[in-house]
Copies of this chain bind each other. A is one copy, B any other.
């Protein structure tokens, strides 16, 4: 039944050869890779105004200046990433760029940051998608966390079905969102010009605002920089583009940056002009939408729907990127090998599932509050930004081709801005970002521990390593059969033991509780198998495991001395239905777990199937 369900949800397995290279044109590439960046306009302006509002309504005027600065930032970062596209056409990614240019630890910091950050991408996108839904349907307010979790699970299942199928679905919400925001900005601008929307800003641009400090300005600015998260996605996926890959990717990035800039600027202007204030129940974007289209109108609902949908798609970006990064880390032996395996549908299922679990934990831990997640998200983005862009300076210096000084300068500006943002986030949002500085060192430590382990294992496994040692060869086998009772299971197990060995010992552990029964087992066995040695071990502590282990150790030592191998045969029941498992085999399980700790004992399971 479980299998049938899995087949139904995930789809039937695909052959390895079914995998074809994806080739994205600009249209599809934009849809697939820009949702993360574009969707951040859904919460970017809100992040700025929320900080400014802690001072006063009048301070909201500064959102204009901050937005302008963010746009400059966007321009610089876009140029910087276009460089990366050309330099690393095989798909840069901060992990690769930082590893290659800064060294292993820097690469791992970038990789670790991104791993956590993709979880945050998923968490932030789904929670703010949920906020868009809740803004439209306030009755759902108390179910936010549940809705977010369901969205994550849904996207996870979509990804377990496979990337390609999702890709075509994804174009619709992305382009719908682009269309809706364009209409909103144009219609809003038209209404402002015709006076349908009246000026509500609390203070005019240029007028002094009491209490405004540079600190608050930068705090708001660093919050607003969350709008830039996701711009790196295209540079990581260059190989997926159609030829000429670099040019395609670079153009797509430019188009995306222009759209993002227009959206962010337009939304901030509308927000300022309409005097919108963020609140917990209705998002800023939804307030603008209500102001422009009228609350409760058809267009308003389409806007909310498209916002929720693009945010869901943005969460999907994390699902594309995380498994590949985990794959790269696993390939370099910094994460478990399990991340190398492809699932039935050719996706890296383990990565997909890990990501979903991480995102669910974050959503539940932060109770679905986007505002609490965003600063953490931003620092996790800008640290790899800084590392990869500064790494590019080293890259250009190494190769010294063409106008390398110019290129390095561009990357320098990108790196500098990112570094400044990291500094601001660290200083001004420490309350929110401190977990990063606990999680990251632990993660790096974990990477190194895993790496060390794998390297040690591979050294130990090399055949040449033990070449001098004489290859072991044994004269025979000693088999210990564990007996709890004389039943058909016992007779079958003994018959099997006879097929692999002439030296068989039947072992039974007895307790004080029922001496009569114990005697009966011994007698029954001796009657049924007079030719086989029967050993009754008495346990004073009602533990089967310890006496068995002690006895098997003695036998194994003796066997070794005689040049024999030692096999311990543990009979177990295989019930017809899974739930019946709990009715049997508890001691068998424990015995096998304990015996597995012995290098010189081979643990064999005799499966007796219940009818």
Interface residues of A (CB under 8 A from B): 13-17, 336-338, 341-344, 346, 450, 453-454, 456-457, 460-463, 465-466, 471-477, 485-492, 495-496, 498-501, 511-513, 528, 540-543, 564-565, 567, 569, 572-575, 580, 582-584, 586, 592, 596-599, 601-611
- B499-A564 in contact (CB<8A): yes
- B575-A453 in contact (CB<8A): yes
The smallest beta-carbon distance between A406 and chain B, in angstroms, is 41
The smallest beta-carbon distance between A545 and chain B, in angstroms, is 12
Other A-B pairs, 13, CB within 8 Å; known A461-B489, A500-B567, A601-B607: A13-B541, A15-B540, A337-B584, A341-B586, A344-B543, A453-B583, A457-B610, A462-B488, A473-B498, A474-B496, A574-B596, A599-B608, A604-B605
Point out the residues of chain B lying under 8 angstroms from A486, CB to CB.
463
Given A476-B499, A500-B565, A573-B457: A582 and B336 interface contact (C-beta under 8 Å): yes
- B598-A607 in contact (CB<8A): yes
The smallest beta-carbon distance between A567 and chain B, in angstroms, is 7
In the bound complex, how far is the Cα of B583 from the Cα of A454, in angstroms?
A: 8
Point out the residues of chain B lying under 8 angstroms from A586, CB to CB.
337-338, 341
- A488-B472 in contact (CB<8A): no
Point out the residues of chain B lying under 8 angstroms from A572, CB to CB.
596
- Of chain B, the residue at the smallest CB distance from A458 is B487
* Cβ-neighbour of A599 out of B466, B528, B609 (below 8 A): B609
Point out the residues of chain B lying under 8 angstroms from A17, CB to CB.
512, 540
* Cβ-neighbour of A541 out of B15, B500, B512, B592 (below 8 A): B15
Point out the residues of chain B lying under 8 angstroms from A603, CB to CB.
604-605, 607
- Of chain B, the residue at the smallest CB distance from A540 is B15
Point out the residues of chain B lying under 8 angstroms from A462, CB to CB.
487-488
In the bound complex, how far is the Cα of B16 from the Cα of A346, in angstroms?
A: 56
Point out the residues of chain B lying under 8 angstroms from A337, CB to CB.
583-584, 586
* Cβ-neighbour of A342 out of B466, B474, B542 (below 8 A): B542
The smallest beta-carbon distance between A252 and chain B, in angstroms, is 29
- Of chain B, the residue at the smallest CB distance from A467 is B488
The smallest beta-carbon distance between A552 and chain B, in angstroms, is 13
The smallest beta-carbon distance between A474 and chain B, in angstroms, is 4
In the bound complex, how far is the Cα of B495 from the Cα of A521, in angstroms?
A: 35
In the bound complex, how far is the Cα of B342 from the Cα of A541, in angstroms?
A: 9
In the bound complex, how far is the Cα of B562 from the Cα of A499, in angstroms?
A: 12
- B463-A488 in contact (CB<8A): yes
Which 7 residue pairs spanning A and B have beta carbons closest together?
Answer: A474-B499, A461-B487, A500-B500, A499-B565, A604-B604, A16-B512, A15-B540
- B596-A602 in contact (CB<8A): no
* Cβ-neighbour of A597 out of B456, B463, B574, B602 (below 8 A): B574
The smallest beta-carbon distance between A103 and chain B, in angstroms, is 24
- Of chain B, the residue at the smallest CB distance from A350 is B586
The smallest beta-carbon distance between A138 and chain B, in angstroms, is 25
22 A–B contacts from the bound complex (CB under 8 Å): A16-B511, A16-B542, A342-B542, A344-B542, A344-B543, A450-B583, A453-B575, A453-B583, A454-B583, A457-B584, A457-B610, A461-B489, A463-B488, A463-B490, A463-B491, A472-B492, A477-B500, A500-B500, A500-B501, A569-B602, A597-B607, A602-B607
- A610-B460 in contact (CB<8A): yes
- B604-A543 in contact (CB<8A): no
In the bound complex, how far is the Cα of B461 from the Cα of A511, in angstroms?
A: 22
Point out the residues of chain B lying under 8 angstroms from A343, CB to CB.
542
Given A488-B466, A491-B463: A498 and B474 interface contact (C-beta under 8 Å): yes
Given A17-B540, A336-B583, A541-B15: A471 and B456 interface contact (C-beta under 8 Å): no
- Of chain B, the residue at the smallest CB distance from A492 is B472
Point out the residues of chain B lying under 8 angstroms from A475, CB to CB.
499
